[in-house]
Amino acid sequence: MINAKTDLERTEELFDFLQGKVPKGCTIARKRRPLLTQDQAWTVIWYLGNLYWQVTDRIERCCVCGGLFDTGNEGESLDYGKAPYHFCDNCLGSDEYALKLRRKPANLL
């Protein structure tokens, strides 16, 4: 079976699975499905990504909308100050992003 899915698509599938959504073609008894919250599911993915184990570390979760995105292709991470830190392309025009940019420390300009 050839898997032509991108890292983002595979990570989104895992993210959904951890929240109880079974991928097409899989049969798992309802009582055996994981049922994590979005935050818990993201913590699992973050952990796996930081171990470089099966999940790429390029996938981030937008701190504004909660969507997943591939940092190699879109979005921006502003890792200073208080959250939010990660912004997908859809949220780069948000008030949260504009406020974060205005608070960028002078030594990072």
What DSSP character marks residue 96? Answer: H
Between 107 and 91, name the one with better pLDDT: 91
> Model's pTM, two decimal places?
0.71
Q: How confident is the model at residue 55 (pLDDT cuts 50, 70, 90)?
A: confident
Q: How confident is the model at residue 49 (pLDDT cuts 50, 70, 90)?
A: confident
**Coil, helix or strand for 60?**
strand
CA 4 to chain centre: 20
What is the average pLDDT across 4-33? 91
Confidence of residue 57 (pLDDT cuts 50, 70, 90): confident
**Confidence grade of residue 2 (pLDDT, cut at 50, 70, 90):** low
